[in-house]
Amino acid sequence: MTTPADTALLRLTLARACAWGLLVAGWIGIGSFALQFAPTVSSGFALVALWLLALGAAAVVNTRGGMRRWTRALVLCLAAVITAGSLLATGRGGNVPTLVLAILGWASMTALASGVVRSLRVVQTAVPAPPIAAATLGALCAGLMLGDIGDLPELALRLAAFVAVTTCLLVLLQRGIEDPPRTPGCRAGLFDCSLPAWPAGAWRDTLQWPTLLAGLAMLPMMAALPLMAAWCRAEAIAPQATVLLHLAAMFGTPLVLRRSIARWSLRTLSMACTALLASGAALVVWATVPLDMIGLAVTHGAAWGVAWGGQLWAPARRGQKGASPLLAAAGYALVTLGVGLVVEHAGARGIAAVHVALGLAAILAWLLSAVPVRWPGNAAGRKRVPSSAPPSHHGAGR
């Protein structure tokens, strides 16, 4: 017999899946439009950076709690209409200003979805488990819906339909739920804890570098995924297959490892991230086309998944509670802009160079962490982060 607690947990799971679906579909879908409509590759990446920055700004407003459900439902529907209309206009031959309107609308809608999740989370009778299964479901739905990301008119139709369906689900899921006047602060910086943010001083401990670098691997990969799909198309590989393989590696890896990763020591987590980042770098250098890019998408996607899963199950490895979403978004946007400049000047080799650099940096950090002499930052950092921690998750949009 279904209990009220079971129903509440199901609603939370579905809302988390919707929020993650919006995040993934928006990142890849917006990137696909941006890289084809922008006059240069770097300006296309700049539009993706704008999407991240807008998401962080919207999250500051929409995920702090206290918004009445009817207000959120009304704003969510308004943002959905603006987003869908702008996407359809862009798909029919619109321009960059129209796409910017879609970017702002989608960012607002995604942050509002995260607010819905927070409302459902704070009324749970027990602390919910990390959202790995829900995020996997949302990413799978987004990947299947995206289809051929090179066919912009059809992509615009699919994205508009996805926005409409997801918005209706979120409005229904939040029925009867009101935010308390104050809700717990978030531990991470962007999308209300869903993307990596790290404890203060983590970069002073070289043993943590591979995990931190693996968390950053998502940024260049997701931003360049439309380009990678186009390159794979030239090798007779369907763009949808490239997207689904990458998403499967990102979310399937922590889903498979969810029962064991909570017990991993910091060194084990670091070693796994190093191995995956190094494997991707090796494939880029020595594998033949198209195995190099496909292998990179899988290995570095899995590296991000391992880093993300390790943070979800160990609260001490996540960012401080109450961290600013806008500050984290600005950091992600700057990294995306940097990658865009590299890709504009070097093309596919630029993408390869960025990921090879991540792999080499992870190997170097791993070797340095094994040196017997440890400076104060290393000792302090390792002392702060426990080898394992009980499952606890305080974010919303996951």
Model confidence pLDDT, tens digit, residues 286-304: 988 778 888 988 999 999 9
Q: What is the pLDDT of residue 283?
A: 92
CA 113 to chain centre: 14
Q: SS3 for the chain, per residue?
A: CCCHHHHHHHHHHHHHHHHHHHHHHHHHHHHHHHHHHCCCHHHHHHHHHHHHHHHHHHHHHHCCCCCCHHHHHHHHHHHHHHHHHHHHHHHCCCCHHHHHHHHHHHHHHHHHHHHHHHHHHHCCCCCCCCCHHHHHHHHHHHHHHHCCCCCHHHHHHHHHHHHHHHHHHHHHHCCCCCCCCCCCCCCCCCCCCCCCCCCCCHHHCHHHHHHHHHHHCHHHHHHHHHHHHHHHHCCCCCHHHHHHHHHHHHHHHHHHHCCCHHHCCHHHHHHHHHHHHHHHHHHHHHCCCCHHHHHHHHHHHHHHHHHHHHHHHCHHHCCCCCCCHHHHHHHHHHHHHHHHHHHHHHCHHHHHHHHHHHHHHHHHHHHHHCCCCCCHHHHHHHHHCCCCCCCCCCCCCC
Reply yes or no on whether the pLDDT at 386 is more than 70. no
Task: Name the nearest CA neighbour of 68 among 194, 176, 198.
Answer: 176
Name the nearest CA neighbour of 247 among 132, 397, 143, 138. 143
Tens of pLDDT, residue by residue over 209-249, are 898 889 888 888 887 788 777 777 777 678 788 889 999 99
Neighbours of 2 (CB within 10 A): 7
Distance CA 91, CA 86 (A): 9
Q: How far apart are alpha carbons 162 and 146 in whole angstroms? A: 9
Q: What does the alpha-carbon distance between residue 20 and residue 240 come to, in Å, rounded to a whole number?
A: 18
pLDDT of 28-79, one tens digit each? Answer: 998 889 888 888 889 989 999 998 888 888 877 765 656 677 888 899 999 9
Range among 2-6, 36-40, 46-50, 174-178 with highest mean pLDDT value? 46-50
Cis-peptide, bond into residue 254, ω within 30° of zero: no
Mean pLDDT of the region 269-282: 94
Class of domain 4-384: mainly alpha
User: Which tokens sit at 314?
Assistant: 């160990």
CA distance 45 to 63: 26
Q: What is the pLDDT of residue 259?
A: 80
Segment 176-196 shows an average pLDDT of 53
Smallest CA-to-CA distance from 32 within 115, 105, 90 is with 90
Mean pLDDT of 185-213: 64
pLDDT number for residue 273: 94
Locus of tokens 């995920």: 63
pLDDT attached to residue 64: 60
Contact of 20 with 131, CB cutoff 8 Å: yes
The tens digit of pLDDT for each residue in 88-127 reads: 998 887 788 999 999 999 999 988 888 888 888 887 777 7
Q: Please give the structure tokens belonging to residue 294.
A: 């496909």
Q: What percent of the chain is modeled with pLDDT above 70?
A: 82
